[in-house]
Amino acid sequence: MCELLNLDGTPTATRVVPFSPMGVSSDGSVVVGAASSFDGYIWTEAGATIISGTNTANAVTPDGSIVVGQDANSQPYRWTEVGGVEPISSFNANALSISADGSTIVGQALSGLTDSNSAWYWTSATGLQDLNLGSNSTALDVSSDGSVIVGWLLSRPDTTFPNNGLQKAFLWDAGGGTIYLGDLGGESSLAFSVSADGGTVVGESFDSSANKLAFLWTAEDGMQNLGTLPGGVYSTASSVSDDGLVVVGQSGPSSWYQTDGNRAFRWTEDSGIENLGVLTGDEWSFARAVNDDGSIVVGQSGIGASARAFIWRAPSNEEDNVGGVIEDYANLLTSFPVLTNDSAVAAAQAQQGLGQTMGQGFFAGSGQFGVQMHAGFARTDRNPTTVGARSTNSGAVSLGYGVSGGFTVGVTASFAGTSLANNGFDMSAGPGLAAWARYSAGGAAGTGLQAEAAFGWSRAEGALIRGRLLTGVALATGTSSLQTWGGFASVGYGFEAGGGWLVTPSLALSHYQTTRPGYSETGAPFNATYDDMTVSRTDLTLGLTAAFKVSEQGTLSLGAGIDREVAGQAAVLSGTSDIPGLATFNIPSSFVANQTRGYVSAGYAHDFGNGMTLSGDLRVGHAVYGTSPEVRGGLVLGFSF
């Protein structure tokens, strides 16, 4: 089950939060209903949209192209994407159902016809017509071709129906008039839904003990009691599949549908009445509609008068039993923008890790080799409201060769593992490689022109899980990887300042591109297939370092700088799914990167004088996402020979 929400990152306050889904198209791609703001809404892959100027949206054609309901002027309307809301009558009336071919609309008119509160039908040829069933009658559903209409009436001035002031389920046939469908012994019944061919009708009827019970009616077998869930005394059937084989509704301890313990059900002749459950924390549920083949059910789940929409899919097969789980529709749909944001964070962390690998360049003496072993970490705590904590631990080995006294080239190989808390990416540790070059006009002294360049690559593989931390959502899992390419170039100038300080201002340009190949999910009632995703970022960094020899062998360094994102490609999640209303999707991340990020750093290097050095550094600055600071640092043991 889940509320129907926009998937474009719009603020929550502007989203449509449905109160009651009333109809679903054949393939489940369109859902309609009444929003909590008492507006009609339609939900498609583009998100939930209020149908402006309406009070309700009660039904939709199987192909999702036509919606009917009542407009803000209390008139029945017909909606199409091209024509918008079109009133079909000036009467005070409500359109409650529409035939599959869109030709016939039925409902109840409060006024305007011969009798008040009377059942009617509409076609483009006839306009709105009274069914002549007397006052207090309602047409609730219509067959696929519009030839059969069902509902209830209170009484009629003839002997066809018992005239005892009680509600009576009826079937109106264009060729055979109106018949009474009977009851289960309590002399009162209501017909709510009819199959595509008009041969099967479902609803509710009182029995001789005054219990309200769901029924299924056919001309051959008459009215059949569908029973109740175990321990229940009440049931009602609200909808039937096109072939008449699947019935949905509610059953439980009380006929007041918002009673604690009432549950949505799905009935088939083979399985009987099946409890669909309730959303986590809720007290009751009600199945309102079923799609054509009976595989998808939508309805409500709630506590007291507070309700939210749910969705349920029948198991795909008996072997894996995937399906048969009631899901929070709001959270099911929300899981996609959440995964988009998870992708943005995972890509940023991968890019940060590659940056550490590319930043391992050092100077070696002319004609000498140097080896450095680096152990590093990066840690960002959880942002209070959005981004989870993330950390990367890495190890690297660098080999450099001094081409001349001021020019060194080298390579670095690394292995890094990243942990992303509250994130759908569960990546294993992966390799990284970088090639680099450093130049100093003053050689190891660091004075004069300074230049550095590097390019690198990293990769990590693992599981991607959609639905984490969202209640009422079955986890869907896939396997993919994050592959990152990057490079940077910097230029600076070192000069000796007063007091023995060596000061070096610098300017650097870096670029990173992370690709997540497409993949398919498995393991959940509703799954998706994702396209390739690419996330990129280009930064310009203005930095300043100052180094001071605290001893003959020890050097202290301090630094500060600003990273500025000058270009980038944000995470966008696209693909296809079998989720009703989400056949295709293209969802940009709602996370906004910190485009300007400051940092400060401190380090110490100790030269043992025998070709071995030991150094350490610590940097604190703004993270790409969130408000919590990023802390990174490392230790380096170096040898030259």
DSSP string, 17-69: -EEEEEEE-TTS--EEEEETTS-EEEEETTEEEE-TTBS---EE-TTS-EEEE
Residue 321 has a pLDDT of 54
Cα 194 to Cα 192: distance, rounded to the nearest angstrom? 7
CA dihedral over 111, 117, 262, 331, signed as positive or negative:
negative
CB atoms within 10 A of CB 638: 21
DSSP string, 276-309: EE--TT-SEEEEEEE-TTS-EEEEEEEETTEEEE
Cα 31 to Cα 623: distance, rounded to the nearest angstrom? 40
Residue 7 has a pLDDT of 34
Q: Look at residue 541 and tell me whether its pLDDT is greater than 90.
A: yes
3-state secondary structure 591-624: CCCCCEEEEEEEEEEEECCCCEEEEEEEEEEECC
CATH topology of domain 331-640: Lipocalin (2.40.128)
Rounded mean pLDDT, 407-411: 97
Q: Which residues contact 478 (CB under 8 A, 6 or more apart)?
A: 463, 464, 519, 520, 521, 522, 530
* Residues 304, 306, 308: CA angle, nearest 5 degrees: 125
Q: Which residue has the higher pLDDT, 122 or 47?
A: 122
Whether the CB-CB separation of 282 and 301 falls below 8 Å is answered with yes
Per-chain mean pLDDT for the chain: 90
Rounded mean pLDDT, 595-615: 96
- Which has the minimum average pLDDT: 216-225, 260-269, 318-327, 503-512? 318-327
Residue 1 has a pLDDT of 29
**pLDDT digit string (tens) for 382-392?**
886 678 899 99
Burial class for 55, CB neighbours closer than 10 Å (0-12, 13-18, 19+): buried
Q: Which residues of 504-521 are buried (b: 16+ CB within 10 A; e: fewer)?
A: bbbebebbbbbbbeebeb
* Token pair for 626: 């969130």
> Taking phi first (over 0 means left), then psi (-120 to 50 degrees means alpha), and beta for anything else, what does residue 321 get?
left
pTM score of the predicted model: 0.85
Q: Which residue has the higher pLDDT, 9 or 427?
A: 427
**pLDDT digit string (tens) for 173-209?**
988 789 999 999 988 899 999 999 999 999 999 999 9
Q: Which residues contact 537 (CB under 8 A, 6 or more apart)?
A: 348, 351, 511, 512, 565, 567, 568, 569, 593, 624
* Token pair for 239: 């909808």
Q: Which residue has the higher pLDDT, 24 or 245?
A: 245
End-to-end CA distance of the chain: 67
Cα 450 to Cα 344: distance, rounded to the nearest angstrom? 34
The rounded percent of the chain whose pLDDT value lies above 90 is 75
* Token pair for 359: 């930043």
Place of tokens 């140097």: 370
Q: Look at residue 162 and tell me whether its pLDDT is greater than 80.
A: no
CA distances from 332 to 3, 6, 326, 479, 525 (A): 8, 12, 11, 20, 11
Q: Which residues contact 220 (CB under 8 A, 6 or more apart)?
A: none
Rounded to whole angstroms, the maximal C-alpha distance in the chain is 115
Q: Which residues of 292-321 are buried (b: 16+ CB within 10 A; e: fewer)?
A: bebbbbbbbbbeeeebbbbbbbbeeeeeee
* Residues 618, 619, 621: CA angle, nearest 5 degrees: 155
**pLDDT digit string (tens) for 56-65?**
999 999 888 9
Q: Look at residue 470 and tell me whether its pLDDT is greater than 60.
A: yes
- Give 601's pLDDT tier (boundaries 50, 70, 90): very high
Domain ranges within the chain, ordered by starting residue: 15-87, 331-640
Helix, strand or coil, per DSSP, at residue 241: coil
Q: Which residues contact 294 (CB under 8 A, 6 or more apart)?
A: 241, 243, 245, 246, 266, 268, 314
**pLDDT digit string (tens) for 305-321?**
888 889 999 987 655 55
Burial class for 72, CB neighbours closer than 10 Å (0-12, 13-18, 19+): middle
Q: Look at residue 12 and tell me whether its pLDDT is greater than 70.
A: no
